[in-house]
Copies of this chain bind each other. A is one copy, B any other.
Amino acid sequence: MSRTWTLQEVKQHNTSSSCWVVIKDKVYDVTEFLPEHPGGSKIILKYAGRDATAVYEPIHPLDALDKNLPPDKHLGSLDTSTIAALKKERDTRKKTQDELRVEREQRRKPAINRILSLRDMEEVALKVMSHKVMAYYLSAADDEITSNENSRAFSRFFFHPRVLRPISQVDTSTTILGYKSAIPVLASGAGLAQLGHPLGEANITRGCGRTNIIQMVSSHASLSSSEIAATRVSPEQPLFFQLYKHRDNEIAERRVREVVELGYNAIFLTVDAPVSANRERDIRAPFELEDQEREAQAQELGEKQQTAGETSREPGNAETEIEGEVNLLGTAGALVASVDLGMTFKETIPWLRSITKLPIVIKGIQCVADAVLATEAGVDGILLSNHGGRQLEYSLPPLEVLYRIRKERPDVFEKLEVYIDGGIRRGTDVLKALCLGAKAVGLGRAFLYAQSAYGEAGVVQTVRILQREIILGMRLLGVTSVNELVPGLVERMSWQPILARL
């Protein structure tokens, strides 16, 4: 079905009864898909009969169209002259304020060897991203309190360092589910890496391969599981798969079998993000960009007295626009639309066990009681996580959950491997978690930032920084292997230190 179209022809199909859109010069009939679109039909109808590439690309996985539209709705391409015209239009299009800002920041970006800490990396990354991507990566639930507290929790733990112990040889390596890792750090699953860098998750895969740590690949990666598997530095490089279980067991099973086949080495079943959360920073980003542009235009016109939004709006009519184009699901909303809301310890774990012999880890345990249930369900590990503060506001910081398991149910550590993620920025954070019983810690956004700022090199630099900090910390604690990191080396304070940077 590969004929070509002119924009004129496409333009006819601009209603809900016949709705075509152009994406990357291809023409699609999305009429029947309208009611199924997780982000609502309204946003599609806005682009009915038009080129939607610019709004489509940054918020959809690459294979979304193939997965969601039957082949007969792929109507073909635009004709060559239309394509040329569209390209010219794009090339001569005036850049937005935000695009100009990003270009400026890219020029100012420091040399990578000046990146001394993960916070330096984050700072650079957030500057060189578009406002929309920044808002998506950075955003967390509601007022982003849990996101901040995840990190602050570490600052309440101080060390009891031991001196006069031999420390010349330090070994930072450990195993995770039996796989060797150079440092007790995991690249936690985090989706849509191509928003930050054209090579996306491949940067993380190769960076982890080069530094000998393990990547947990998100179901929501911009690249497919097979593309990522193919990008490994060697066939032995382990990969873990972060599963969002589809509500349809058959589809879910297919997904699991696919990654088993591809040689993935463990399944991390995600349980803390069954539904799309309230990430206001992300939802708000489009308004803010609109306002920014409007202000810039107004200034240009010398109409300085007309401030944002003043022009066309009559007082009072704002009240009537109850339904509009605000996408409350945010960038990531569509991604979890098909997640199974009926999962249970009793059924889901045995079901998964029946499909694969791979180690199973539950990702998203948030309290002691569920950690105990996980040991009873017989999984191989649990990842204490509140999804980086992106799901339930006021979920206890994972380090605090770990601390409660250590105090209330230390037997959990003997029955499965415990990991945590959320808020880790420093080698000392890693060491604190290990002292309390964690086998390894996960970092999610840190690797997204690293690859967004410097691609694969950023990922390598991130691991190197952590390794250097971990070695230094172990020496100054008086230990030479991760097994020596014991509860007695840390103490939880009743006070909170003052942090220069949160």
Contacts and interface: CB of A to CB of B under 8 A. Distances in A.
Given A280-B116, A308-B108, A143 B326 contact: no
Contacts of A319: 112, 454-455, 457-458
Contacts of A495: 156, 496
A391 B159 CA distance: 12
Given A345-B164, A426-B142, A475-B274, A318 B111 contact: yes
Given A158-B396, A307-B108, A278 B469 contact: yes
Interface stretch (A70-78, A185-193, A365-373): A365-373
A321 interface: yes
- The interface size bin for chain A is 35 or more
B166 A344 contact: yes
Nearest to A377: B164
A158 B394 contact: yes
Contact of A113 (B323, B366, B395, B499): B323
Which secondary structure dominates where chain A touches chain B? loop
A160 B366 contact: yes
Interface string A307-331: 1111001011011111111101000
Contacts of A476: 272, 274-275, 277, 391-392, 395
Contacts of A152: 497-498
A500 B143 contact: yes
A480 to B, nearest CB: 10
A453 B166 CA distance: 40
Nearest to A488: B369
A304 interface: no
A231 interface: no
Given A117-B280, A275-B472, A454-B319, A160 B112 contact: no
Interface in A93-145: 103-104, 106-114, 116-117, 142-145
A445 to B, nearest CB: 18
A394 to B, nearest CB: 5
Interface hub of A275, A319, A362 (most chain B Cβ within 10 A):
A319
A209 to B, nearest CB: 16
Contacts of A365: 163
Interface hub of A112, A163, A277 (most chain B Cβ within 10 A):
A163
Contact of A110 (B280, B318, B366, B393): B318
Interface hub of A110, A166, A322, A370 (most chain B Cβ within 10 A):
A322
Contacts of A367: 160-162
A461 B386 CA distance: 28
A168 interface: yes
A8 interface: no
Contacts of A477: 392
Contacts of A107: 309-310, 313, 315
Interface string A452-491: 0011011011000000110011011100000000001001
Given A117-B142, A163-B366, A392-B476, 4 more contacts: A104-B307, A152-B498, A159-B394, A161-B366
27 contacts: A104-B307, A107-B309, A109-B318, A110-B318, A112-B321, A113-B321, A143-B500, A144-B500, A148-B497, A148-B498, A149-B498, A152-B497, A155-B394, A156-B495, A158-B395, A160-B366, A160-B396, A161-B392, A162-B367, A163-B366, A166-B344, A167-B342, A168-B341, A319-B455, A322-B461, A392-B428, A392-B477
Closest 10 CB pairs of A and B: A160-B367, A392-B476, A168-B341, A113-B324, A163-B271, A106-B315, A111-B321, A319-B454, A319-B457, A161-B366
